[in-house]
């Protein structure tokens, strides 16, 4: 199985940041089990990484692999959109989330 | 005492030529100013120049946040303005922050977000190049990139606050759909900036007119209304202040010779040192003679003298003047006289004005003649021409130079034109030259119509031109209607002739 490489950019210890981290961990565990690597980057501490990836919005989730690279912005509370971005939206799971 | 509330808002000199005059010292310091304009009105140039002038003239760094154009394109485009952005980037004085949309990578939105990463990058860049100036170009592009307008507004407001806390002075650009109408397309102005500048590029009577207007500077002084500007290759944007200089004009009571003893006498002892004289007349009435005498008079007094000739070529001019006993060719070789011959059509009026001001500043003359100023009206609108005259007049007077402008009247025998009505209000003296038809022969008349701050001869005198110049003689007697262009004889002589003929 392909290993997912994910980068999540957040701004400090805000409510929105922790919501995004929680949402992402839940989705990944449900969908990918242990098949993923997640790097959480606080742009306040490492702005040069945000510069390299040209990130504007926080939170921003970047799926580095498998290709194609995808960007998902927001607190990841819209699970369906996150699954679409991660290309994990199977026909049978459609509508199953709520 | 409560000084905190009364303290005026400090300004940061932009060093954009002319703009600090209009803005009474520059942009409000540590604030954000919105620069709004239609497509092609010069917003990006303004935003880039704000940083460039900061780097070159006050040695401070600048951050350029681009939401739209590729930095590569901006570097190339701005090279034509003479700015080597790449060199500044190497020196760590200029940082591009590329926030333009990435192709093929439309982000998927999954919940609420902010622009925290952008803000962190901007703050990081400010620290990295010790910037005190930031430009964000343009707000429309970021609004297009991120569909959620409410979020974008809230976040831009937050960025504005953060920039203020960082003690940087910033510009945000926004596009408007029309030159006159809503300030910006997305109504961003209400939340972004207390300070709004409008750039316009309007087509009037088939001529492009660029203007800059400071719409509001909350709590800070500025000049009202639209001021023309031009974009000069190798220099950038140059604003032309209209009213700013006039207030400072000194009024000199030093007299200088007109170059003609009889005309000196008619003017009550010559022109004033820092005055503007208008010489009006039709082709062939002797305007060039007055110019020639004025310049020769200056050269005799060892004053540097400058002539802008818009009607004749250099060769024509030399020939005409030598027929009057002068030798401009020799004078120019000796370096005291400078002649600039140009067709009015070679450039726009704003560019003429800049070029003339530059030449005046380089050559530092004591006398300047423009022959004719009315020729320049061909390349402008009436409004633009009036502004040009005001600007040129102010610049000349401020430097205590005597200016002599000629104006060609369209009708053969005189009358007063609209052009002159515009010019006359700003000139100190007016001399009228007219052809006078008398007894089947054409003669020349001259009168001093106005001589601000002095007594003057009010006669209409006849003059002749020969190989040694202009000779003013006796007043016309028994002739009326010369100025109106319809001279007729009074009294017996005419009726005798009328009956006899």
ipTM: 0.90
pLDDT of residue B187: 64
Q: Which residues of B366-414 form beta strands (DSSP E)?
A: 367-371, 402-408
Strand B429-438 and strand B441-451: the pairing is antiparallel
∠ CA B174-B175-B176 to the nearest 5 degrees? 125
Quick check: A76 and B116 CB within 8 A?
no
Quick check: B109 and A70 CB within 8 A?
no
Can you read off the two tokens belonging to residue B202? 């309007």
d(CA B2, CA B471): 70
What CA dihedral angle connects B113, B114, B115 and B117, to 10 degrees? -70
Kindly indicate the confidence band of residue B186, based on its pLDDT and cuts at 50, 70 and 90: low
Residue A57 has its nearest CB partner, among B98, B117, B123, at: B117
Kindly indicate the confidence band of residue B491, based on its pLDDT and cuts at 50, 70 and 90: low
CB atoms within 10 A of CB B135: 25
Quick check: B107 and A60 CB within 8 A?
yes
Can you read off the two tokens belonging to residue B257? 């010779």
d(CA B53, CA B476): 60
**Catalytic residue status for B189:** no
d(CA B200, CA B210): 5
**Catalytic residue status for B311:** yes
d(CA B228, CA B144): 31
Handedness of CA B177, B181, B183, B187 (dihedral sign): negative
CB atoms within 10 A of CB B5: 5
Q: pLDDT tens-digit profile of B392-402? A: 888 888 788 99
Quick check: B120 and A48 CB within 8 A?
no
Cis geometry, peptide bond prior to residue B147 (ω within 30 degrees of 0): no
3-state secondary structure of B254: coil
3-state secondary structure of B97: strand
Quick check: B117 and A85 CB within 8 A?
no
What DSSP designation does B41 have?
S
- Report the chain B residue with the minimal C-alpha distance to residue A75: B111
Quick check: B146 and A56 CB within 8 A?
yes
Q: Which residues pair with A10 in a beta bridge?
A: A42
What CA dihedral angle connects B34, B37, B43 and B46, to 10 degrees? -70
Q: pLDDT tens-digit profile of B416-475? A: 565 666 677 778 888 988 888 777 788 888 988 888 878 888 888 999 988 888 899 888
* Whole-angstrom Cα Rg for chain A: 13
Q: How deeply is B314 buried, as exposed, middle or buried, from its count of CB atoms within 10 A (0-12, 13-18, 19+)? A: middle
CA distance A98 to chain B (A): 14
Kindly indicate the confidence band of residue B1, based on its pLDDT and cuts at 50, 70 and 90: very low
> Which residues does chain A have with pLDDT short of 50?
93-98
pLDDT of residue B415: 53
Q: pLDDT tens-digit profile of B341-393? A: 998 988 888 889 989 988 998 899 999 999 989 888 888 888 788 888 888 88
Residue B108 has its nearest CB partner, among A44, A69, A85, at: A85
Residue A78 has its nearest CB partner, among B97, B107, B111, at: B111
Partner B contacted by A6 (CB < 8 A): no
Q: pLDDT tens-digit profile of B265-294? A: 999 889 988 889 999 888 788 888 899 999
Residue B111 has its nearest CB partner, among A9, A71, A75, at: A75
Average pLDDT, chain B: 84
CA distance A34 to chain B (A): 23
For residue B455, the number of C-alpha atoms closer than 13 Å in the C-beta half-sphere is: 2
pLDDT of residue B144: 79
How far is the CA of A79 from the CAs of A8, A26, A40, B105, B489, in angstroms? 15, 10, 19, 20, 101
CA distance A49 to chain B (A): 9
Partner B contacted by A11 (CB < 8 A): yes
d(CA B154, CA B183): 19
Residues of A in contact with B112 (CB under 8 A): 16, 74-75, 77
d(CA A92, CA A94): 5
Quick check: A47 and B120 CB within 8 A?
yes
pLDDT of residue A59: 96
- Report the chain B residue with the minimal C-alpha distance to residue A51: B121
Quick check: A76 and B110 CB within 8 A?
yes
Please tell me which residue in B189, B293, B303, B311 is annotated as part of the active site. Answer: B311
3-state helix, strand, coil in chain A (%, to 5): 35, 25, 40
- What is the mean predicted confidence (pLDDT) over B189-195? 70
């Amino acid at each position: 199985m392909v290993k997912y490489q994910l980068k999540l950019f957040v701004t400090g210890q805000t409510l929105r940041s922790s919501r995004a981290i929680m949402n992402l961990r839940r989705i990944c565990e449900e969908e990918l089990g242990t098949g993923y690597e997640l790097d959480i980057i606080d742009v306040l501490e490492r702005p040069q990484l945000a510069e390299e990836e040209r990130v504007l919005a926080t939170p921003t989730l970047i799926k580095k692999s498998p290709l194609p690279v995808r960007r998902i912005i927001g607190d990841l509370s819209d699970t369906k959109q996150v699954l679409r971005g991660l290309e994990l939206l199977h026909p049978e799971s459609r509508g199953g989330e709520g | 005492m409560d000084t905190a509330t009364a303290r005026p808002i400090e300004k940061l000199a932009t060093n954009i030529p002319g703009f600090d005059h209009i803005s009474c010292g520059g942009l409000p310091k540590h604030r954000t100013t919105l620069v709004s304009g239609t497509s092609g009105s010069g917003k990006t140039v303004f935003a880039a120049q704000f940083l460039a002038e900061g780097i070159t003239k006050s040695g401070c760094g600048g951050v350029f946040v681009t939401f739209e154009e590729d930095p590569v394109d901006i570097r190339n485009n701005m090279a034509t303005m003479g700015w080597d952005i790449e060199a500044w980037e190497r020196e760590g004085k200029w940082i591009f922050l590329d926030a333009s949309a990435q192709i093929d990578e439309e982000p998927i939105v999954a919940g609420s977000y902010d622009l925290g990463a952008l803000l962190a990058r901007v703050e990081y860049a400010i620290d990295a190049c010790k910037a005190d100036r930031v430009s964000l170009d343009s707000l429309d592009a970021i609004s297009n990139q991120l569909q959620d307008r409410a979020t974008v507004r809230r976040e831009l407001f937050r960025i504005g606050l953060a920039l203020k806390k960082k003690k940087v002075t910033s510009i945000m650009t926004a596009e408007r759909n029309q030159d006159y109408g809503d300030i910006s397309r997305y109504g961003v102005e209400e939340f972004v900036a207390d300070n709004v500048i409008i750039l316009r590029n309007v087509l009037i009577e088939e001529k492009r007119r660029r203007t800059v207007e400071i719409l509001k500077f909350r709590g800070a002084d500025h000049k009202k209304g639209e001021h023309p500007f031009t974009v000069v290759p190798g220099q950038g944007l140059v604003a032309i202040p209209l009213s700013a200089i006039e207030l400072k004009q000194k009024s000199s009571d030093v007299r200088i010779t007109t170059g003609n003893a009889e005309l000196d006498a008619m003017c009550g002892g010559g022109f004033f040192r820092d005055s503007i004289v208008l010489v009006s007349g039709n082709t062939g009435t002797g305007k060039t003679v007055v110019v020639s005498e004025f310049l020769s008079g200056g050269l005799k007094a060892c004053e540097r003298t400058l002539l802008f000739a818009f009607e004749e070529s250099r060769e024509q001019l030399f020939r005409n003047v030598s027929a009057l006993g002068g030798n401009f060719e020799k004078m120019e070789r000796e370096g005291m006289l400078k002649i600039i011959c140009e067709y009015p059509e070679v450039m726009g009026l704003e560019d003429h004005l800049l070029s003339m001001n530059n030449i005046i500043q380089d050559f530092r003359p004591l006398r300047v003649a423009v022959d004719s100023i009315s020729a320049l009206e061909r390349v402008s609108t009436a409004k633009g021409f009036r502004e040009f005259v005001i600007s040129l007049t102010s610049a000349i007077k401020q430097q205590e130079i005597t200016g002599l402008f000629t104006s060609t009247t369209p009708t053969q025998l005189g009358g007063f034109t609209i052009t002159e009505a515009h010019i006359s209000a700003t000139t100190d003296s007016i001399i009228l030259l007219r052809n006078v038809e008398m007894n089947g022969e054409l003669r020349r008349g001259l009168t001093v119509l106005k001589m601000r701050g002095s007594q003057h001869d009010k006669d209409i005198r006849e003059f002749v031109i020969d190989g040694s110049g202009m000779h003013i003689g006796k007043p016309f007697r028994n002739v009326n209607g010369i100025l109106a262009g319809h001279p007729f004889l009074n009294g017996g002589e005419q009726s005798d002739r009328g009956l006899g003929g």
